[in-house]
Amino acid sequence: MTLSMYQASVPVFTRALGNLAHVLTKGAEHAKAKGVSDEVLLQTRLIPDMLPLIKQIQIACDMATRGTARLAGVEPQSFEDNETTLEQAFDRIARCTAYVNGFSAEQIDGSETRAIHLKMRSGEMNFDGQSYLLGFLLPNLFFHCTTAYNILREAGAELGKSDFLGNA
């Protein structure tokens, strides 16, 4: 049996976003118990030159949504980066999860050789669909989910590996 592009993307993205929501829930509970405001928690960073928690959430969501759309060969939906509360952060994760789940296997399967062109601050990047998924999307998605987890853990939330991994 082979693993399809859909199986390697949409279910993985939605699980990662679900697990991100889970660790954020535990982080929010900890912050509330300690009297930490949403703004302070969402602006927490590991070190000064890293992006804050809210940017980690936004980028993880963008990786999943934009990546799925690009694999499907459609223009990605834009999600504004304007969340300032935990409620808004949870809403973004939910909206992005719903967007990703709106793609069918027929839209994604066969995208292994689809040309994907990105314009980044550092220059242009060109991929085929498979290398985009395996070498760019998945590592970036998990980097930002992991960094969000680490920010929440450093902030004192009681999180463990099973919170990050979720239920199999």
- The first and second tokens of residue 57, run together, are 């959430």
Are the beta carbons of 125 and 27 closer than 8 angstroms? no
In the prediction, which pLDDT does 93 show? 98
| Number of residues that make up the chain | 168
Q: Among positive and negative, which fits the CA dihedral 114, 119, 122, 123?
A: positive
Read off the pTM: 0.95
| pLDDT for the residue numbered 81 | 95
Predicted confidence (pLDDT) at residue 1 exceeds the cutoff of 70: no
Write down all domains in the chain, each with its CATH number in brackets: 5-165 (1.20.120.450)
pLDDT (0 to 100) of residue 29: 97
- Residue 167 pLDDT > 80: no
Better-predicted residue by pLDDT, 1 or 7 = 7
Residue (of 63, 49, 58, 59) closest to 84 by Cα position:
58
Reported as a pLDDT band with limits 50, 70 and 90, residue 27 is very high
Assign 65 a pLDDT band (cuts: 50, 70, 90).
very high
What pLDDT is stored for residue 120 in this prediction?
86
Could you read off the pLDDT of 103-161 as tens digits, one per residue? 999 999 999 999 999 998 899 999 999 999 999 999 999 999 999 999 999 999 999 99
Nearest to 20, CA basis, from 94, 74, 123: 94
Task: Say how far apart CA 115 and CA 139 lie, in whole Å.
Answer: 19
